[in-house]
Amino acid sequence: MHKTDSNIIAPRQRASTFCRLYGNFFFKNFRSPKYLSLRPLRITVRHPGMTKKRILITGAAGFLGSHLSDRFLAEGYQVIGMDNLLTGSLDNIEHLFKEKDFEYYHHDVTKFIHIPGKLDYILHFASPASPIDYLQMPIQTLKVGAHGTHNCLGLAKEKGARILVASTSEVYGDPLVHPQTEEYWGNVNPVGPRGVYDEAKRFLEAITMAYHNYHGVETRIIRIFNTYGPRMRVNDGRVLPAFFSQAIRGEGLTVFGDGSQTRSFCYVDDLVEGIYRLLLSDYHLPVNIGNPSEITVMQFAHEVLELVQNPKAYIDYRPLPVDDPKQRRPDITKAQTLLGWNPKFDRATGLKLTYEYFKTVVRVG
């Protein structure tokens, strides 16, 4: 018997019955952090001869982490989801607890990470990611970019696992080069209000490269541009959930400045495909993943108004925030040539799919 066999909760049949009978009751009634912090919550079944690849996804209860968990389970992996629910929600992964190949650890990655047994891959996606979050939690944002990344890299080194870390287009700051290539070093204000997120991700990239060069860890770095889709938090402050929730409620769509600043929006399924391909590639330097279809914020607001068709909704102009990027568009040449990746979802299709989700979660009145 292997050492990790002591972690078996029950044989497959009994575990399946337990999850089916009691899973919904447990997660509806005991999801409070005071219960979840007692010990890692783990639902796992192992049996002799299992050869599936095993992957850890940090930030698994978040928007991107939950979609990645779906994808890797569908690809036949054993998935370990880790989250401290600072910004994530168990609602995003509750449907996975019945899966025999899914485990969940309630854990803060800024603390030491221990995963028993083998580990083939790590996706480090734990971090506050919206302006509201990292302005309210600046220290936690810096810590997860520094301590959290360090812990994940140390785990990858110990396990001999390949790790992909989630960086962001924010490392380019308010760019002076357009569109942004991976070779552009950026224009970031390290002491501005957005600096905690920008610099946390720049440090994440630096320490990842250090572990690759000094320790020989297999690393991958993705720079994610604006992404949208189901499971975005309604109140996370980013432009798409803000516009949809405001339009559905018949409120003013908050447009900062004159709305001439540009963004490029990538549907979540396209992003997940790019992450999957990059993880399994042999390229260790940063790669942009995003949709290069660029649009002004004002144009985007009108697209949302046209889709939602709420006559009470209107445009509400507000002052432009400090260090708000004036333009954002990825150069995806590397993703195209190295990964054979291109976005498949046009914005009209992606917005319709996302609108269907927001209609179910936005409360009116």
From the CA atom positions of the chain, what is the Rg in Å? 21
Q: What is the structure's pLDDT at 48?
A: 47
H or E element that contains 294: strand 294-296
Residue 185 inside a domain? The answer is: yes
- Distances, alpha carbon 170 to alpha carbons 24, 106, 263, 327, in Å: 38, 28, 12, 11
Please say if 197 is a catalytic residue.
yes
Collapsing DSSP to helix, strand or coil, 39 comes out as coil
Q: What is the structure's pLDDT at 53?
A: 98
**Looking at residues 26-35, what average pLDDT do you find?**
42
Percent of the chain with pLDDT over 90: 81
CA dist 149 and 116 (Å) reads 19
Residue 122 inside a domain? The answer is: yes
Collapsing DSSP to helix, strand or coil, 148 comes out as helix
Report phi then psi at 130, rounded to 5. -110, 155
pLDDT band at 77 (very low <50, low <70, confident <90, very high): very high
Q: What is the structure's pLDDT at 301?
A: 96
Residue 49 inside a domain? The answer is: yes
Domain count, the chain: 1
pLDDT band at 50 (very low <50, low <70, confident <90, very high): low
**pTM of the full structure:** 0.85
Rounded to the nearest integer, the mean pLDDT of the chain is 89
Q: What is the structure's pLDDT at 240?
A: 96
CA dist 244 and 242 (Å) reads 6
Q: Which two tokens stand for residue 222?
A: 């993705």
Residue 301 inside a domain? The answer is: no
Cα torsion at 313, 315, 321, 323 (round to 10°)? Answer: 110
> Which of residues 25 and 168 earns the better pLDDT score?
168
The residue segments making up the domain with residue 108 are 3-228+267-291+330-344
Residue 316 inside a domain? The answer is: no
pLDDT at 211 over 80: yes
Residue 244 inside a domain? The answer is: no
Instruction: Identify the weakest region by mean pLDDT among 67-71, 234-238, 260-264, 282-286.
Output: 234-238
Residue 183 inside a domain? The answer is: yes
Q: What is the structure's pLDDT at 237?
A: 87
Q: How many residues make up the chain in this entry?
A: 365
- For residue 188, the domain's CATH number is 3.40.50.720
For the chain, first and last CA: distance in Å?
58
Paired with 78 in beta bridges are 54
Residue pair 285/213 in contact (Cβ under 8 Å)? The answer is no
Q: What is the structure's pLDDT at 272?
A: 98
Residue pair 281/220 in contact (Cβ under 8 Å)? The answer is yes
Find the catalytic residue in 77, 172, 197, 267: 197
Q: What is the structure's pLDDT at 324?
A: 80
**Looking at residues 137-143, what average pLDDT do you find?**
97
Residue 350 inside a domain? The answer is: no
Provide the 8-state DSSP code for 330: B
pLDDT at 294 over 90: yes
